Amino acid sequence: MKDNRFKSFAGLMFMGGFLFISSCRPEPLEVDFSFIIDSYSLSVPEPSGLAYSVDKESFFVVSDRGKLYQISLTGTIIRELPYIGNDTEGVTVDPVTANIYVCEEGRGDLVKLNSSGVMIDSYNLLDNPGNSGLEGLTYNIELNEFYLLKEKDDGILIKYSVEDDLTTIINLNFSSDYSGIFYNESSRKLWIVSEEERTLTQCNLNGSVIKSYSFPINGIEGIVVNDDETVAYVVSDPNSKLYKLDLTIN
């Protein structure tokens, strides 16, 4: 009887302590999702890079599995292109020729495709980069140069001119990783997203920070921004979603 009473007493003490500890836990912080205008489910597996089509009436999106798709502004697949890559992480479009460019992380390659998704050429920008290689791709038609990211260890901004075969390397230090990039022709600024820190940062062409936003969305990789920089679209790899964001919220 004594042992049973002791066990009952010990159980009550344990339960009381558990309730006390639970009651001392801070309330979870309320997350503000008011900046999300809308979100759309994607049938694209592991979506990564994102780019406007020439007319900006649709997007191109790449999958980590090496596939390339054209989707509507609400995420519906319009077509799957024939190109099959290797760990594709970025995509951009030349608005004059309609050629499509993708980057392959593990190989460190920039790959040129025609508008039908057939490979034309490739350019090696990083030797043996592994899983921290090329991550994100965008194009500046005025200067005829591409901007790419090395994700981390160490994070860098790569400027590349196909015409001159010239590569410029700029070290980045405002985030722990860099997962997507977009060049806005109107403002002549870069927008860079961080998957790990869940941030969207506006920079000049040398990677210096102008302003930054914090977005509690997991796995942001691809990014485009409209001309007047009031709206951004991002894709989330783990969520398999396209998000439309309001950039006018401070």
In this predicted model, what pLDDT tens digit does every residue of 36-67 receive, in sequence order? 999 999 999 999 999 999 999 999 999 988 99
**d(Cα 120, Cα 17) in Å, to the nearest integer?**
68
Q: Give this prediction's pTM.
A: 0.85
User: What is the rounded average pLDDT for all residues in the chain?
Assistant: 87
Q: Which of 106, 101, 173 is nearest to 137 (CA)?
A: 101
pLDDT-derived band at 17 (thresholds 50, 70, 90) equals: very low
Instruction: Give pairs for 119-128: CB < 8 Å, separation 24+.
Output: 119/83, 123/160, 123/162, 123/165, 125/158, 125/160, 125/167, 126/150, 126/158
Predicted confidence at residue 32, as pLDDT, reads 53
Predicted confidence at residue 136, as pLDDT, reads 93
pLDDT at 234 over 60: yes
Provide the token pair at 150: 């090395």
Predicted confidence at residue 165, as pLDDT, reads 92
| CB within 8 Å of 185: residues ≥ 6 apart | 140, 141, 142, 227
The CATH code of the domain at 34-246 is: 2.120.10.30
Domain ranges of the chain: 34-246
